[in-house]
Amino acid sequence: MRGGGVGKRNPAVLAEGQPEPFLEDPGDPPDWRQEFGRGAPIEVDIGFGKGEYLLALCAGHPETDYVGIDYDRGRVWKLRDKIVRGNLRNVRLACGDAALLLPRMFVPGGVRSFTVNFPDPWPKRRHHKRRFITRKFGELLASRLEPGGTLTVATDHRPYADVIIGELSAVKGLEPDFGQPGFATALPGRIETLYERKYREMGRTNHYMRYHAAAGCGRADDAK
Ligand SMILES: C[S@@+](CC[C@H](N)C(=O)[O-])C[C@H]1O[C@@H](n2cnc3c(N)ncnc32)[C@H](O)[C@@H]1O
């Protein structure tokens, strides 16, 4: 598990009856119905960074429960404190490598949507192996999506967009929403992330890949 230490800190104090948003050890898998006190659909933001996208989503959609995963511990703690101060109760955070955490955290078919916003493109060839959107990762996400659930990936980096499209198009059970070249350059109504706004203001093109889970996704035998 990666992520920097947080050192001395002064965490925001939970209000009376407020749930702790940071799941230090997210169970095997957690009982989300019990954790959120209801059976709302669950949406997952992978690599939330500073978390403004996740915060805006959970404030704007109290009917949905959200889970954010990031392997940067400092970012997790910072967002945790914002969630506590905002008294948002429909979001939980976990810290660690999404590829390792996801199989532990969600049962097959247990997630309505995954979003990966602006994953690090690692443009240098010798760093390509650090990219985490691979066919294997896509298979893992597909196994956790409910039928009809969505996976959205955004990047400003065209070569990485092409790689992502190649990897995800090989995943059985994921059906692309966009035809050739496999991405849209805008998703109307979408909340902008920090990176997204920065890149748009710089005049760069953002690429959005979106997939739907086919019927039959998220079966118990996809549990590996
Ligand atoms: C370039 S930032 C994008 C942040 C945010 N999604 C946005 O669009 O503004 C990538 C984020 O992904 C996180 N990350 C990278 N690899 C990860 C992994 N394997 N598991 C979880 N988080 C990861 C990083 O810590 C970082 O916060």
Which residues in the chain land under pLDDT 50?
1-8, 223
How many Cβ atoms from other residues are within 10 Å of residue 129's Cβ? 9
Domain topology for 20-100: Rossmann fold (3.40.50)
Contact 98, 71 (CB under 8 A): yes
Q: What is the pLDDT of residue 6?
A: 46
Q: What is the pLDDT of residue 218?
A: 74
Q: Is 177 in the pocket of ligand 1 (CB under 6 A)?
A: no
pLDDT tens digits along 69-86: 999 999 999 999 999 999
Q: What is the pLDDT of residue 2?
A: 37
Out of 102, 118, 122, 194, give the residue to mutate to test ligand 1, the one with the largest number of ligand atoms within 8 Å of its CB: 118
For ligand 1, atom 14: residue with the closest CA: 47
Q: Is 48 in the pocket of ligand 1 (CB under 6 A)?
A: yes
Strands of the sheet with 65-70, listed across from one edge? 91-95, 65-70, 42-46, 111-117, 145-155, 207-213, 174-176
Q: pTM for this one?
A: 0.94
Ramachandran angles phi, psi of 164, nearest 5°:
-60, -45
Please report the atom of ligand 1 found closest to the CA of residue 72.
Answer: 25
Q: Which residues are catalytic?
A: 120
CATH of domain 107-224: 3.40.50.150
pLDDT tens digits along 52-70: 999 999 999 999 999 999 9
Spatial separation of the C-alpha atoms in residues 43 and 32, rounded to whole Å? 12
What is the DSSP pairing of strand 91-95 with strand 207-213? unpaired
Q: Is 72 in the pocket of ligand 1 (CB under 6 A)?
A: yes
Out of 55, 69, 71, 157, give the residue to mutate to test ligand 1, the one with the largest number of ligand atoms within 8 Å of its CB: 71
For CATH 3.40.50.150, the residue range(s) in the chain are 20-100, 107-224
Which tokens in the block code for residue 201?
């203001």
Q: Is 150 in the pocket of ligand 1 (CB under 6 A)?
A: no
User: Alpha helices, DSSP H only, in the chain?
Assistant: 32-36, 52-60, 73-85, 98-105, 135-144, 158-169, 194-201
Tell me the HSE value of 11 on the side-chain side, using a 13 A CA sphere.
16
Which of 55, 92, 76, 98 lies closest to 11, judged by CA?
76
Q: What is the pLDDT of residue 194?
A: 87
Q: What is the pLDDT of residue 59?
A: 96
Q: Is 114 in the pocket of ligand 1 (CB under 6 A)?
A: no
Kindly give the interhelix angle for 98-105 and 135-144, rounded to the nearest 10 degrees. Answer: 20
Q: Is 193 in the pocket of ligand 1 (CB under 6 A)?
A: yes
